[in-house]
Copies of this chain bind each other. A is one copy, B any other.
Amino acid sequence: MQNETNSEEDHKSAPKWRRKPESRPDEILDGALIEFRSRGFAGARIEDIAKHAGLSKGTVYLYFSSKEEMLKALVRRSVLPISEMFTDIAGHVQDNNKKAADVLSQMIQIAANKFSNHEIGSIPLLIIGEAGNFPELAEFYRQEVIEASMKAIMTVLMFGIQKGEFRKCNPKYAVRTLMGALLMQVIWDGTFARDDEEPISYEELIQSHLDIFMNGILLPQENS
């Protein structure tokens, strides 16, 4: 069942001249992400990770003191853009005249944009698989990404309710409705998607999702 590793063949004789040592740690993390996701943390082999970066086993230890440290760095790296995400969002939302609905739309679109990037979207999947082994990491991610996002969204939701733009609702639940579709797609892409099928368009998905979230799916019934 175990699918065969032909990782040796993945990077056939990486050219020697392509060396940007400054980005070395990043290249290693790229390989680590691939291997962690495909074999799990415990199942990933340092040698395979190194090979993705065109390095040998020992060399990665010049940049990371242990396998666990690589995992931590990987998660940290993926969390950095999240604050950038919030900066982006804040930039688009400054305008106080904007409707809450538009603000929410933009937030979700920006988030979708971030998480459709493999290097960021794979991380929650990684954490889902390794949360038991690395609870601090899950907790870190929860706080830095999940809760921070939820809080931002809930703030807008409550603002919309206050303004009379949104119906009264429990933002704690509504945020799950709003974020769920995105999470689901991220998981689909990273877990169940097959090469032989048309990929789902994030743009269209989010469009449809926001539409339903805002307006619901029911048609107004004449006699009711």
Interfacial residues, chain A to chain B (CB-CB below 8 A): 1-3, 37-43, 68, 72, 101, 125-139, 141-142, 146, 157, 160, 164-167, 169-170, 172-174, 176-177, 179-185, 187-188, 190-192, 194, 200, 204-205, 207-209, 211-219, 221
Contacts of A166 in B (CB 8 A): 217-219
| Complex-state Cα separation, A209 to B192, whole angstroms | 24
Whether A173 pairs with B205 at a CB distance below 8 angstroms is yes
Contact status of A170 and B204, CB under 8 A, knowing A68-B2, A180-B183: yes
In the complex, the count of this chain's copies comes to 4
Whether B42 pairs with A40 at a CB distance below 8 angstroms is yes
Contact status of A128 and B129, CB under 8 A, knowing A182-B180, A208-B173: yes
Given contacts A160-B217, A173-B209, 18 further A-B contacts (CB under 8 A): A1-B72, A1-B134, A38-B132, A39-B133, A41-B42, A138-B191, A138-B192, A139-B194, A157-B217, A165-B218, A165-B219, A170-B208, A173-B204, A177-B177, A180-B180, A180-B183, A187-B187, A215-B216
